[in-house]
Chains A and B, each alone.
Chain A
Amino acid sequence: MSTDKIMASRRAFLGAMATGGAAAALPMAAPAGAQQVATSASIVILGAGAAGAALANRLSARLDGATITIIDPRQRHLYQPGFTLIAAGLKPASYSVSTTAEWLPSGVRWIEQGAAGIDPESQTVITDGGETVDYDYLILATGLELHYEGIEGMSRDVIGQNGIGSFYAGPDEAAATWREMDRFTETGGRALFTRPATEMKCAGAPLKYTFLTDHYLREKGSRSRSEVIYAAHSNSLFGVPIVHEKLRMLYDDRGFDTVYNHVMTAIDPGAKVATFDTPDGPVEIGFDFTNVIPPMRAPAVIRESGLAWEDRWVGQGWAEVDPYSLRHRRYPNVFAAGDVAGVPKGKTAASVKWQVPVVEDQLVAQIAGDTTDRSYNGYTSCPMITRVGRAMLIEFDYNDNLTPSFPGIIAPLEELWVSWLIKDIALKPTYYAMLRGRA
């Protein structure tokens, strides 16, 4: 009894405190308490990840009589913000894994196949099982493709060997990355961290992982025998200038060697050498441990659909949507949310949290023959872990403004324990509440 009571009060406090913080990193949308709209529209959602599942839940609650179909072959749902924690040995691989089925509402038809083609003129989607699905409204929420083949010599098969990690690939690969990092930090040596030149999800993750590796090197007493290199793809560490400056200072403080304008083009797992494209030509850097982050692009079905940007992010194929309404610029009955949306920021779970109610309101207004001012401002959040136990709760928008949820209380550019607590215990339940359309 007494233990229960103590646990209860402690947990309740922790939850209350951290949930308030989670409101920051996964900002809360207005509840979908608006009136239901009657319609016989057919809505197809491509992808049952964070954006797709959340929209399926919200739209099925909001629309009366609509036919909602969600197309996705994946049986597993992955909580991707957990990958860095798995790769830091703090959580097991199972921490990020749930099932797709548990997040989908009962009234939605789930086609457990991939989308093979989209014809926006005839308003049809063809699945890889050969089924043709007509739609009145289409939501692109496919997520993105990790293009490992874009780095010569790299593939998923080499993850977890020869000091090569890559936690983006999935929970098992994140656990394999931890095993390599754990082994490396016992002895020390040269750690090499990179990011691709393409748009990418959670641009803070490679930076966090550099901090985390440094943390373990120091904890195990091998930092003095080690070199930590961060190869930035451009001339900055982070797209938001004020955040770049803060990170530059922290990287100097931690003794990291930062090189700029280095884009990884090849890796030789056997020789443990990575090749970079730089303004001065190819440069080779050897490593004892590295975390490879592949180039990223939209899935082929989007790239080849005629719905992708042609003059921006060439070759990456992100959906050509208005950055504020998330409505397609040429096909007004098509929307995009999540990683696949061709917008300047916003490839994080926190961005999805902010985008989903915008797509919902825009779509519902359109169905009702109305319009809405509801728009997405580029909100993105990054709990920048700077060591185990501390993080900076960085939030920003399209204009590179910092948008702290607790100004004057939780400083965005300060390494805080409170920000770590938010990341560690509150973000995942907030994410799951978002999937259900309840947050």
Chain B
Amino acid sequence: MDNDKIDQIINKHQGKASSLIQVLIEIQNQNHWLPKEVLDKVSKKLEVPLTRVMQIATFYKTFSLIPKGRNEVHVCTGSSCHARGSARLLDTVQDLIGIRPGETDSDSKFSLETSNCLGCCNLGPEIIINGKHHARLTPDQAEDVLKNYK
């Protein structure tokens, strides 16, 4: 990632420990993951111990300490999607792309995550790929959706 952009984000909040989460969100959004050197820099500039930066970076599901694939696949496993069969959908997606939630495949094509309820239960069960909702999916429709992503 563009170092200048990271510096810009960090400098905006320099010395302000209470901005830690905000800074990490902005970097995650820009870069899609949080490299170790960046966390070091955040720790120094915001004057927050690295242990606390690490705790927060590992605590929240949105932060990733490893690079993500080109396509971020989220399978909603909220309670409504669960009632409508998201477990089978998740199984199918795992089989199709060959990775489990939290993993990225070897050619960095896909990352898979389960996501907590996104509040669009009318769409369930659904998968969200790079922010786009694929609604009311049955397991046998999943392949057709996934093959559109390169």
Whether chain B is bound by chain A comes out as no
Which A residues lie at the B interface, using CB under 8 A?
Answer: none
Which B residues lie at the A interface, using CB under 8 A?
Answer: none
